[in-house]
Chain A
Amino acid sequence: RKEVEQDPGPFNVPEGATVAFNCTYSNSASQSFFWYRQDCRKEPKLLMSVYSSGNEDGRFTAQLNRASQYISLLIRDSKLSDSATYLCVVSSTLGRLYFGRGTQLTVWP
């Protein structure tokens, strides 16, 4: 079983829509959680960290449920520029990250 499981999508939504991505992780000892973003044919980049209390960064809201080992990302008021692949990432030991396979999002005008 993979460390991090994500729905690969694709998600195709119109501009202005709200879209949510989920992922689950298998190691209950996981320490840190993140969402990375990867544009087509580019490298992954950190989008935001995910905290147990939930956190928001503009139109993006991330939530963590440790009991269910579940992480979510909500994007409100989607923009064309949000089109990308979103990678759910978990850190279990210092320095090592486990990446989900990513959820592809396309926002259309």
Chain B
Amino acid sequence: DAGVIQSPRHEVTEMGQEVTLRCKPISGHDYLFWYRQTMMRGLELLIYFNNNVPIDDSGMPEDRFSAKMPNASFSTLKIQPSEPRDSAVYFCASSWARTNLNEQFFGPGTRLTVL
């Protein structure tokens, strides 16, 4: 079975450029989460969706970050404009409330470097 799929796996961009990260959750999962991981701050929740609706975006660092989930099988996290301090690994995760909501399945992550 396919797990959570993220693309791209690696992204190197220059400061000021727009970055779009993509995620396909596990089919049938109704929760989707975006996390950011850095050495300094660890794993931080940015935003999460339930049935495609954003539930909590309090972790989104600032207006430069936006996330959408147009349908149950696709979500994007956009950074515009990007800054060097955005360099991190961005993980998408999904879960299914009917079984064990708290077991989140993570994608392989997107390693973002902003020069």
Contacts and interface: CB of A to CB of B under 8 A. Distances in A.
A9 interface: no
Contacts of B106: 43-45
Interface string B74-115: 000000000000000001000101000111101111000000
A96 B43 contact: no
A91 B43 CA distance: 14
A43 B42 contact: no
Contacts of A34: 102-103
Interface string A31-70: 0101000000011111001000000000000000000000
A101 B95 CA distance: 21
Interface in A65-109: 87, 91, 94-102
Contacts of B34: none
Contact of B56 (A45, A87, A96): A96
A90 to B, nearest CB: 10
Interface of A: 32, 34, 42-46, 49, 87, 91, 94-102
Interface of B: 31, 33, 41-43, 45, 48, 50, 55-56, 91, 95, 97, 101-104, 106-109
